[in-house]
Chains A and B, each alone.
Chain A
Amino acid sequence: DSGVTQTPKHLITATGQRVTLRCSPRSGDLSVYWYQQSLDQGLQFLIQYYNGEERAKGNILERFSAQQFPDLHSELNLSSLELGDSALYFCASSVRGQGGTEAFFGQGTRLTVV
Chain B
Amino acid sequence: AQKITQTQPGMFVQEKEAVTLDCTYDTSDPSYGLFWYKQPSSGEMIFLIYQGSYDQQNATEGRYSLNFQKARKSANLVISASQLGDSAMYFCAMRERNTDKLIFGTGTRLQVFP
> A: which residues have CB within 8 A of B?
2, 31, 33, 35, 42-43, 45, 48, 55-56, 58, 88, 90, 92, 94, 96-108, 110
Inter-subunit contact A94/B43 (CB<8 Å): no
Is the pair A43, B97 in contact by a Cβ cutoff of 8 Å?
A: no
Residue pairs across A and B with CB atoms within 8 Å: the count is 69
* Chain A residues near B18 (CB-CB < 8 A): none
Do residues B43 and A101 form an inter-chain contact, with CB atoms below 8 A? no
Name the contact of A100 in the complex, choosing from B91, B100, B104 (C-beta under 8 A). B100
Interface flags, B90-110, vs A, CB<8A=1, else 0: 010101111111111011000
| 6 pairs, CB–CB < 8 Å, chain A vs chain B | A2-B44, A2-B47, A42-B106, A43-B91, A48-B100, A103-B95
Chain B residues in the interface with A (C-beta under 8 A) = 33, 35, 37, 42-47, 50, 52, 91, 93, 95-104, 106-107
**Complex Cα spacing A108 to B43, Å:** 7
- B residues in contact with A56, CB < 8 Å: 96, 98-99, 101
Residue of A nearest to B107 (CB): A42
Q: Which residues of B are found within 8 Å of A45, using beta-carbon distances?
A: 101-103
Measured between beta carbons, the chain B residues less than 8 angstroms from A2 are 44, 46-47
Contact indicator B45/A105 (Cβ below 8 Å): yes
